[in-house]
Amino acid sequence: MQAPTLLVDIDHRPAVSLDGAWHYIVDPYRNGWGDDPDKPNLNGYAKNAHFNGTDLVEYDFATSPVLQVPGDWNSQHDNLLLYEGLVWYEKDFSHQPKAGMRTFLHFGAANHRASVFVNDVHVCDHEGGFTPFDCEVTNVLKPEGNFVVVAVDDSRRPDTVPAMKTDWWNYGGLTRQVFLVDVPQSYVDDYSLQLRRGAGDQIEGYVHLVGSKAGSALTLRIPELNVDRESTVGEDGNAKFSFAPQGLVRWAPDHPKLYRIQIKAGEDHLDDDIGFRTVEVEGDRILLNGKPIFLRGINTHAEAPYRGGRAWSQQDADTLLGWVHELHGNFVRLAHYPHDEHMTREADKLGILVWSEVPTYWSIDWKGAHALESAKQQLSENIRRDHNKASVILWSVSNETPKSPERLIFLKALVDEAHAQDPTRLVTSALLTHMDGKTAILDDPLGASLDVLGSNEYIGWYNGKPEDAPLYTWQNPYNKPLIMSEWGGGAKSGLHGEINARFSEEMQAEIFKQQLAMLSKIPFLAGTTPWVLMDFRSPTRQLPNIQDFYNRKGVISNKGIKKKAFFVLQDYYAKLAH
């Protein structure tokens, strides 16, 4: 078995889809796995045996029910709504192995742990519910009669990231697209092209080749900019590029210009559409293309509008980001984990800036090696997948993590990792705010390592009254830009009352008005993302007839109905935008 890899820009390669109906078996007692918790028994369900009426076989995928892939299992069958644990997936497929080609099986995401078996061979394992992975299956495919079995386990554990408690539904399963991709023996697995800060229109980067000899040549073309350059691969597999094209138009929210880039390396070629821009910090300002920008944002979960469940499709991305546009927003925080790649692709096209986060959320096993390794892996996979998206300007390493010395060591390691892997973007975190009476102090020690501070505060909902907000003063000992990364309150769509009536649209709208009054007076504020775009399912929200397992802090209901607060925010952003 090999460790999975991750092919950058894989969604632009020709692919054979394995989406659709997969047979599944729910296995709460881990019967098909075997006794060793870390190692599956290959004679268990992975074997994909069939009951023939004579031999004793106590499972059979072929006669088991089906789940749609992509899709979480919880929202597809009523009896799986609350299920957390092991589920087995199986699909038969044809794929003729092609001479001289390598084949990868791509998973957009599997929440939370996946073990993949193809034709009786254990091909890879992956942990982390929101990032993609690619397993090589070249040597196990047959001309006919292939099958893939995936054991997906979403049990929460104290040492995973996230850990035992989150304020969102633990949607399990093969939640994003699955496909097969053929590549030549020597292929491009990664590339990065970025404008260098402070160097005019100088583009720098690399194309990384697997399976090629040092000295092999490859070309990079950007036809619209008359770029046609050759470079050679070094010992490390990288071919480096550095050039300053004439007439470059920079990517920006009001002009999200993307260029078609074409990479040709031997028999492999890869196209992408990418934008070029710089993002940096100067004092307490965020500069996009050298100019200060105010981030008119909102948070969103990857919750599918209208139908519910985990979002994954182009249509989900169109709806969610379409609402951000309708708000006159130019920024979105993809809370609290990497969202489907359709989101960042669409943000690139629409000109919406992105805060992208890993699920280091609330309490984590700060001392354990496993949690740190998993968080680093998820961060690396997130950066690798999206490091050519102009829309992504911020990597966030965590959300609302209570202060402790161990937590600081852990999170600093993630900040260092993000800086090392991507020196062209900014690193942030949504921090808990230290309140001293009506003074809010941004003195979390992690702030010293961040480029941009994020602060979550719920004045008017979890503490005090809505009208308290404008009475607060904010102190920023770090002289760094602040994004007010969460604030808001709950409202059930259609529930009306006085401005102090909990869960009324009026109270939520009042919280928004008072918060905006406070925010407009904070001099170092560089942007904000209220909580949250749309209501989302959460096991912690139990109030009957109001919450019914939904966090109701959306400015839009899960059925797509806009609440009063939506229009308060829309007015505010419209004025800022014009």
Residue in 272, 252, 264, 236 with CA at minimum distance from that of residue 195:
252
Residue the block writes with tokens 């070029």: 276
Residue 457 makes CB contacts below 8 A (sequence gap 6+) with 433, 435, 440, 484, 486, 487
Residue 223 CB, nearest approach to ligand GCB (Å)? 44
Residue 129 CB, nearest approach to ligand GCB (Å)? 16
Closer residue to ligand GCB, CB minimum distance, 336 or 563:
336
Give the Cα separation of 131 and 359 in Å (integer): 11
For strand 279-282 and strand 536-537, is the pairing parallel, antiparallel, or unpaired?
unpaired
Binding site for ligand GCB (CB under 6 A): 167, 336, 399-400, 456, 486, 531, 551, 553
- In this structure, are residues 361 and 398 in contact, taking their beta carbons and an 8 Å threshold? yes
Closer residue to ligand GCB, CB minimum distance, 102 or 336:
336
Q: How many CB atoms lie within 10 A of CB 574?
A: 12
- In this structure, are residues 338 and 162 in contact, taking their beta carbons and an 8 Å threshold? no
Give the Cα separation of 333 and 485 in Å (integer): 8
Closer residue to ligand GCB, CB minimum distance, 154 or 400:
400
**488: its two tokens:** 């808001």
Give the Cα separation of 466 and 355 in Å (integer): 27
Closer residue to ligand GCB, CB minimum distance, 75 or 456:
456
Give the Cα separation of 293 and 287 in Å (integer): 6
Residue 131 makes CB contacts below 8 A (sequence gap 6+) with 6, 109, 338, 377, 378, 381, 382, 385
Closer residue to ligand GCB, CB minimum distance, 205 or 530:
530
Residue 466 CB, nearest approach to ligand GCB (Å)? 16
Closer residue to ligand GCB, CB minimum distance, 351 or 489:
489
Residue 401 CB, nearest approach to ligand GCB (Å)? 10
**104 beta partners:** 136, 181
Residue 457 CB, nearest approach to ligand GCB (Å)? 9
Residue 378 CB, nearest approach to ligand GCB (Å)? 17
Residue 551 CB, nearest approach to ligand GCB (Å)? 5
For strand 20-26 and strand 16-17, is the pairing parallel, antiparallel, or unpaired?
unpaired
Closer residue to ligand GCB, CB minimum distance, 256 or 464:
464
Closer residue to ligand GCB, CB minimum distance, 33 or 531:
531
**239 beta partners:** 207, 233
Residue 209 CB, nearest approach to ligand GCB (Å)? 41
Closer residue to ligand GCB, CB minimum distance, 323 or 337:
337
Residue 330 CB, nearest approach to ligand GCB (Å)? 22
Residue 133 makes CB contacts below 8 A (sequence gap 6+) with 4, 5, 6, 106, 107, 110, 114, 124, 126, 381
Closer residue to ligand GCB, CB minimum distance, 106 or 339:
339
First to last CA, the chain: 56
Residue 458 CB, nearest approach to ligand GCB (Å)? 7
Q: What is the DSSP letter of 446?
A: G
